[in-house]
Amino acid sequence: MKNLRRNFRNQKGFNLVELMIVIAVIALLVAVAIPGYQFVIRTVNETSTAKAMDTIRSLQTGYASKHQGKFAPTFAELITSTDLDKKYEGDNPVVNGYVYKMTVTEPSGSKPAFFSLNADPQVSEGIQATGKRHFYIDSSISGIKSTEENRPSKPDDPSI
């Protein structure tokens, strides 16, 4: 019996309590890090979306100056006519966790051409939220409108 105790005392390695403490510390670090990581992802998505909206507005303005005041009717037309990134292909492209929706109205009579662009998060609530803010621009306003309400942004929302 004495030999058995001496053998256990001289063994190298971790005992169960030490191992459980290490696992608990790692779990605590992960529990603290995940919300911070999710916040950073949402913030980066929102910032890149606001920048993309501003870029699309300037590309639409440039397109209209070359096409008798008409705006590009689709993202595909903007991609082929300007230097808009190909990741915006499709009717409602999803880029950086945001769904883009563009509406274009042709000029008629006394009304000039008009375009509007909404960017809404793919997932706006919960653990997997890609963003919380909804964005809006159009050809008649100079700023980017935004709301944190769970609805698409409108022209009367506050500017960012």
Give pLDDT tens digits along the chain (160 positions): 566 566 666 667 778 888 899 999 999 999 999 888 989 999 999 999 999 999 999 999 999 999 999 999 999 999 999 989 999 999 999 999 999 999 999 998 889 999 999 999 999 888 888 999 999 999 999 899 999 999 999 999 999 8
Return the pLDDT at 127.
80
Residue 127 neighbours by CB distance under 10 Å: 8
Residue 146 neighbours by CB distance under 10 Å: 20
| Radius of gyration, CA atoms only, the chain | 26
Q: pTM for the complete prediction?
A: 0.81
Domains in the chain: ranges and CATH: 2-147 (3.30.700)
